[in-house]
Amino acid sequence: MAVQSSPVKVDQETHALIAHGATALHMSQKDLLAAAVREYLGARREEINAALRRTMETLDGTRSSQVAALTGMSKERLDELGGVRES
| Domain limits for position 71 | 46-80
Is the residue at 36 inside a domain?
Answer: yes
Distance CA 20, CA 12 (A): 12
Q: Is the pLDDT of residue 87 over 80?
A: no
As for how many domains the chain has, the answer is 2
18 and 11 Cβ atoms separated by less than 8 Å: no
Q: Are residues 56 and 38 in the same domain?
A: no
For residue range 47-59, what is the model confidence (pLDDT) as tens digits? 999 999 988 888 8
**What share of the chain has pLDDT > 90, as a percent?**
60
Distance CA 74, CA 66 (A): 11
Distance CA 72, CA 59 (A): 12
pTM for the model: 0.66
